[in-house]
Amino acid sequence: MDWSKHYAERLSLMGHSEVAQILELTSRPEVISLAGGLPSPDSFLLEETQEEAISVFRDLGSASLGYGPTEGLPPLREALAERMTLKGRSSGKGEILLTTGGIAALDLICKALLESGDFVIIEEPSYLAAIQVFRSYGAQFLGIPTDQDGVCLDALEVRLDELIASGRRPKFFYIIPSFQNPSGNCLATERREKLVGICNARGIPIVEDGAYEDLRFEGEFQSNLASIDPEVVHVNTFSKIMHPGLRLGWINGPDVLIEKLALCKQGQDQCSSTSGQHLAERFLRKGLVEQQLRKSRAIYREHRDLTIEAFKENFPKESLASRPQGGFYCWIDLPEEINTVRLLPEVVESENVAYVGGSAFYHDRDMGTNQIRLAYSFVSGDKLKDAVARLGRFFQSKLSA
Amino acid sequence: MDWSKHYAERLSLMGHSEVAQILELTSRPEVISLAGGLPSPDSFLLEETQEEAISVFRDLGSASLGYGPTEGLPPLREALAERMTLKGRSSGKGEILLTTGGIAALDLICKALLESGDFVIIEEPSYLAAIQVFRSYGAQFLGIPTDQDGVCLDALEVRLDELIASGRRPKFFYIIPSFQNPSGNCLATERREKLVGICNARGIPIVEDGAYEDLRFEGEFQSNLASIDPEVVHVNTFSKIMHPGLRLGWINGPDVLIEKLALCKQGQDQCSSTSGQHLAERFLRKGLVEQQLRKSRAIYREHRDLTIEAFKENFPKESLASRPQGGFYCWIDLPEEINTVRLLPEVVESENVAYVGGSAFYHDRDMGTNQIRLAYSFVSGDKLKDAVARLGRFFQSKLSA
């Protein structure tokens, strides 16, 4: 059978995926990968995870192995509602939907809201896997430029009004306000309320990705957008506060929307892992999430410092790096003559170091060709420092050549 | 915000879901639910599950908590390829994609193949959750009648050619050949090759759902459709051979298609549970899946017998029940004047027993109104017999009234 004749149009929009390339690069043992956004294995609470997993099993037996409700286990939804409330978004259980990770959460939101051809507003650069999800629903993109204080509000207003004036309506604004992927920057506090105001005035829903917001290791607490306006749809994941193998995330939003998203989840995967949800609930209830977060922040601060230090010592003088106060990523601008996308195979070959080239984070792949994202989260110590240094010297050699 | 203005068209197609209703009925402790297709908790290998879970954790530590490859862990893909090969569909690792359960597998297939408005061929009655998934992609339906030997091939040919002659092209045929959900019947062996021939002659892909095929407790082994033709896309799940809490399933199909489905999975949930996959791999490799299957078959045979016995003794004489040789379900035709959908709330209230009314299994909800699906899998012993008996007497009383 010639399968290519049977594929849906959306497949051609999804095209080649950098995620697959990143995972492939990571799989070669000799390559030090600063590509994928993997949490540090040192951040995991191994012993506690094992103990709690055993106790879930001992306490619940076969009940931990069956199906659960589509919306998620009630005690876990309650624990998450409490957590969101503590962070400033007063929430009840009915405003929480458990999902099979953060990407699954975005998939559900698209399923509920997006028609093919609809516009999604994104920061540029933005999370490449999210762009992939939106593409799989036939989305078009309105990319808004960012600076070190996050998305530029003047540009947002102008471009939004242009789009609306042309008769097209953006469906939602997808934004990562804290320790953004890939830039590592935060949306400035004074921009947060304004941003919500701009979107509200135009009736445009905001989808906030809070994946990294608990990983601040420097600077002052900032309220997330959901705390500013409970209509904001907040997406989050256990991958960064517990571990990715759980495959658990959640959506916090208005209960009418959560109901519709649960309907969509029935057609996505019916329910998320029962034993995993029990484990997550115990981690939240017993303060283990907070314990792990303290450990994580110390690790990532150290990794950030090593990265910045090696950057300063080895990258071409004309380069510019973000200085993240939390999260996993450092974003580097290189001189324009450096094409980071084209150079990637060579640098992997000659230096055994991998990064993600900047254009993966733009909907227009001609952008970002002199930028790179370094994920400093996974690799540690001298290995991290050495990898960043090798990258810097490699790019320097290309300039001198 | 008035969220109803923002919803995508597909939401209205999905409408009210019986799955949610079933789960709600099941949650009232006094109700004996023969509604949901839940495996018997007695079938689980509790001790072995705990032992193997601990050993995964002990052997792999933090590696069991991280992300895995989108396609699934290579050793598990290999073990599944071997399993499929043993059952007659010669397979390599590249022909297996791990998924987050059977519904997630169907969601991926739709993502890769379905455009809104495309036709999906289904048996009628068919699996209600699958119909929900297809609806969520804007599918239209061509329903083909079935008898106790499965789908009627004459009707299939006629209706298929009518549709094609009208210029519309069905995208695939979704079929559950063994211990069908909801009928419990099997597609007769002599119909299997013919069915494949009919679809192949018209270039129509077959999506085979093998969820129950290993649960035969009576009668002779039948080859699945994937064994007859390797172009058949075979969907399966660990929910019935291990436990549903794992949230693991797989797709077995041509490698070119598997690659595309993996691309779709990146936008669905990125990867499935790492520790869960390690556990499943050990269950397969150590023969624990087979051990559990032997246990399961004995349990479900007994449940089937109790159900049929209570049916014969208590249901109205004019009723007709299927006599499944495997799987979870018994399908009952009642006299036409009985509206099982309308009577469900009353029977739950007065008898504390729940079933699923027949119309949920048809794309046209006016069908099946005098039919019910009984899932005999979960409830056991006198409780099961009593529940079926109460249902029968209830319907009898409605006839006499």
Q: According to the model, what pLDDT value does residue A12 have? A: 86
Other CB atoms within a 10 A radius of the CB of residue A198 amount to 18
In chain B, positions 293-322, which contact chain A (CB-CB < 8 Å)? none
Q: Is some CB atom of chain A closer than 8 A to the CB atom of B181?
A: no
Amino acid occupying residue B89:
R
Judge whether residue B105 has pLDDT over 90: yes
CB contact under 8 A, A20 and B273: no
Pairwise CA distance, residues B10 & B3, whole Å: 15
H or E element that contains A390: helix A381-400
* pLDDT one-digit tens code per residue, B159-181: 999 999 999 989 999 999 999 99
| Sign of the alpha-carbon dihedral angle for A318, A323, A327, A328 | positive
pLDDT at A27: 66
Q: What is the pLDDT of residue A306?
A: 98
- For residue B12, pLDDT beyond 90: no
Antiparallel, parallel or unpaired: β A170-175 and A206-209: parallel
B377: Cβ–Cβ under 8 A, 6 or more apart, which residues? Answer: B37, B38, B39, B40, B300, B303, B328, B329
Tokens of A379: 């690799």
For the segment A341-362, the average pLDDT, to the nearest whole number, is: 93
The two structure tokens encoding residue B146: 């079935």
CA distance A131 to A139: 9
Mean pLDDT for B288-304 is 98
Q: Which residue type is seen at A333?
A: D
Q: What is the pLDDT of residue B148?
A: 96
Task: Please state, in angstroms and rounded to a whole number, the distance separating the CA atoms of residues A368 and A339.
Answer: 9
Position A114 scores a pLDDT of: 96
A273: nearest CB among B39, B68, B245: B245
The closest CB to that of A65, out of B8, B44, B271, belongs to B44
Query: Could B46 and A62 be called an inter-chain contact, meaning their C-beta atoms sit closer than 8 Å?
Result: yes
Q: Are A371 and A340 in contact (CB under 8 A)?
A: yes
- Residues A315/A395, Cβ–Cβ less than 8 Å: yes
pLDDT value of residue B120: 98
pLDDT at A54 over 80: yes
B400: pLDDT strictly greater than 90: no
Q: Which amino acid does the sequence have at A293?
A: L
Pairing verdict, β A371-375 and B356-357: unpaired
Among the listed residues B63, B12, B24, B19, the one whose alpha carbon sits nearest the alpha carbon of residue B37: B19
E-strand ranges in A77-139 read: 96-99, 119-124
Residue range B46-290 in CATH 3.40.50.300: no
Rounded to whole angstroms, how far apart are CA atoms B317 and B394? 13
Angle between helix axes A288-314 and A274-285 (nearest 10 degrees) is 90
Cα distance from B346 to chain A (closest Cα, Å)? 24
What dihedral angle (degrees, nearest 10) is formed by the CA atoms of B227, B233, B238, B241? -30
Split at pLDDT 50, 70, 90, the class of A13 is confident
pLDDT: which is higher, A203 or A25 = A203
Q: Between residues 243 and 282 of chain B, which touch chain A (CB distance below 8 Å)?
A: 243-247, 254, 256-257, 260, 262-264, 266-276
The beta strand positions in B187-307, using DSSP E, are: 206-209, 233-237, 249-252
- pLDDT per residue over A160-198, tens digit each? 999 999 999 899 999 999 999 999 999 999 999 999 999
Helical (H) or strand (E) element with B354? strand B353-354
Edge-to-edge strands of the sheet including B320-321?
B320-321, B329-333, B371-375, B356-357
One-letter amino acid for residue A4 of the chain: S
Is the per-residue pLDDT at B25 higher than 70?
no
Picking from A246, A248, A293, the residue whose alpha carbon sits closest to that of residue A87 is A293
Closest CA to A179 of A363, A368, A369, A323: A323
Do A258 and A69 meet the contact criterion of CB atoms below 8 Å apart?
no
| Whole-angstrom distance, CA of residue B370 vs CA of residue B351 | 18
Q: Fold identical between A3-44+291-400 and A46-289? A: no
B131 touches chain A (CB under 8 A): no
The string of DSSP letters for B140-185 reads EEEEEEEETTEE-HHHHHHHHHHHHHTT--EEEEEE--SS-TTT--
Of A7, A69, A239, the CB nearest to B23: A69
Indicate the residue of B8, B268, B269 with minimum beta-carbon distance to A115.
B8
What sign does the dihedral A105-A25-A293-A207 (CA atoms) show?
negative
Tell whether A111 lies on the interface with B, counting CB pairs under 8 A.
yes
Query: Which residues of A are less than 8 Å from B107 in CB distance?
Result: 267-269
Q: Is the dihedral of CA B363, B365, B369, B373 positive or negative?
A: positive
The tokens of A8 are what? Answer: 């849906």
CA–CA separation, B332 and B322 (whole Å) = 7
Prediction ipTM score: 0.95
> What pTM, to 2 d.p., does this model score?
0.96
Q: Which of A24, A98, A99, A275 to mutate to test the interface with B (most CBs of B within 10 A)?
A: A275
**Domain residue spans of chain B:** 3-44+292-400, 46-290
Q: In what order do the strands lie in the sheet with B206-209?
A: B96-99, B249-252, B233-237, B206-209, B170-175, B119-124, B140-147, B150-151
Evaluate if residue B260 carries a pLDDT over 80: yes
* List of residues 6+ apart from B384 with CB closer than 8 A: B34, B303, B306, B307, B310, B376
Q: Estimate to the nearest angstrom the gap between the alpha carbon of B121 and the chain centroid.
A: 16
B269 vs A64: CB contact, 8 Å cut-off? no
Poorest-pLDDT segment among A5-19, A20-34, A174-188, B364-378: A20-34
Spatial separation of the C-alpha atoms in residues A210 and A231, rounded to whole Å: 15
Give the span between the Cα atoms of B71 and B234, in whole angstroms. Answer: 16
Tokens encoding A170: 């953006």
Mean pLDDT score, B234-260: 97
Which range, of A1-10, A301-310, B304-313, averages the lowest pLDDT? A1-10
Query: Looking at residues A96-117, what average pLDDT do you find?
Result: 97
Cα separation, A24 vs A30, whole angstroms: 12
- What is residue B239's three-state secondary structure? coil
pLDDT of residue A26: 62
Q: What is the mean pLDDT of chain B?
A: 95
Secondary structure (DSSP) of B62-108: GGGTS---TT--HHHHHHHHHHHHHTT----GGGEEEESSHHHHHHH
Q: Using CA atoms, how far apart are residues B143 and B363, in angstroms rounded to an integer?
A: 7
CB of B11 within 8 Å of any CB in chain A? yes
- Residue A268's closest CA among A32, A103, A80? A103
Band of pLDDT at residue B17, cut at 50, 70 and 90: low
Q: How confident is the model at residue A19 (pLDDT cuts 50, 70, 90)?
A: low
Supply the pLDDT for residue A298.
98
Q: With an 8 Å Cβ cutoff, are B39 and A270 in contact?
A: no
Q: Which residues of A98-134 are buried (b: 16+ CB within 10 A; e: fewer)?
A: bbbbbbbbbbbbbbbbbeeebbbbbbbbbbbbbbbbb
* Best to test chain A binding among B17, B225, B243, B266 (most A CBs inside 10 Å): B266
Domain A3-44+291-400 part of CATH 3.90.1150.10: yes
Contacts 24+ apart (CB under 8 A), B240-243: B240/B39, B240/B211, B240/B212, B240/B214, B240/B215, B240/B296, B240/B328, B241/B214, B241/B289, B241/B292, B241/B293, B241/B296, B242/B44, B242/B49, B242/B280, B242/B283, B242/B289, B242/B292, B243/A62, B243/A65, B243/A66, B243/B39, B243/B44, B243/B49
Give the mean model confidence (pLDDT) for residues B350-361.
94
Report pLDDT digits (tens) over B110-168. Answer: 999 999 999 999 999 999 999 999 999 999 999 999 999 999 999 999 999 999 999 99
Q: Which residue of B has its CA nearest to A114?
A: B8
Yes or no: is domain A46-289 CATH 3.40.640.10? Answer: yes
Average pLDDT of the segment spanning A27-34: 86
**What's residue B15's pLDDT?**
67
Residues of A in contact with B54 (CB under 8 A): 50, 54
Does an H or E element contain B244, and which?
none
On chain A, the residues whose CB falls within 8 A of the CB of B39 are 66
Segment A247-259 shows an average pLDDT of 97
Check CB contact under 8 Å for B244 and A17. Answer: no
Answer yes or no: are the C-beta atoms of B241 and B289 closer than 8 Å: yes
Segment B216-225 mean pLDDT: 97
Residue B247 has pLDDT above 90, yes or no: yes
Helix (H, G, I), strand (E, B) or coil at A310: helix
B3-44+292-400: CATH architecture: Alpha-Beta Complex (3.90)
- Report CA B125 to chain centroid distance, whole Å: 12
SS3 at position A6: coil
Look up residue A55 and give its two tokens: 């106790």
Q: Do A129 and B267 touch (CB under 8 A)?
A: yes
Query: Is pLDDT at A152 greater than 80 in this prediction?
Result: yes
**In chain A, pLDDT over 70 holds for what percent of residues?**
97
* Partners of residue B115 in chain A, C-beta under 8 Å: 8-9
Edge-to-edge strand ranges of the sheet holding A329-333: A320-321, A329-333, A371-375, A356-357
Q: SS in 3 state form for A217-282?
A: CCCCCCCCHHHHCCCCEEEEECCCCCCHHHCCEEEECCHHHHHHHHHHHHCCCCCCCHHHHHHHHH
Which residues in chain B touch residue A261, judged by CB atoms under 8 angstroms apart?
none
Q: B18: pLDDT confidence band, cut at 50, 70 and 90?
A: low
Please state, in angstroms and as integers, the Cα–Cα distance from residue A294 to each residue in A217, A220, B21, following that order: 9, 15, 42
Pick B115's closest partner by Cβ from A8, A132, A275: A8
**Cβ of residue A72 closer than 8 Å to a chain B Cβ:** no
